[in-house]
Amino acid sequence: MTNKQMCESPSFYEIQVKGTFDESWSDWFGGFTITRENGKTLLAGQAIDQAALLGILAKINDLGLVILTVMRIDR
């Protein structure tokens, strides 16, 4: 698979941020599941392409939260 194919195909991601917000925000984050623990939040879900992932990261940034990790998970 080429880099272009990886960026243009749906992929599963886990994004960890410092700070917490309620699970009810899941729809706003493209249906990603939200798990809170020890002052951190884990968002996990599928982004249809890299542009969708960047949109989610922008929303996190707009909330003023610090992004700790972004991992693409091969399934």
73, pLDDT greater than 90: yes
Question: What CATH number does the domain containing 16 carry?
Answer: 3.30.70
**What residue numbers bound the domain in which 18 lies?**
3-73
pLDDT of residue 9: 75
Kindly tell me the burial class for residue 17, based on how many C-beta atoms sit within 10 Å of its own C-beta (0-12, 13-18, 19 or more). Answer: buried
4, pLDDT greater than 70: no
pLDDT digits (tens, 9 = 90+) for 26-72: 999 999 999 999 999 999 999 999 999 999 999 999 989 999 999 99
Please, what is the Cα angle at 70 between 44 and 74, to 5 degrees?
65
pTM of the model: 0.84
The total number of structural domains that make up the chain: 1
Sign of CA dihedral 58, 10, 44, 70: negative
pLDDT of residue 54: 96
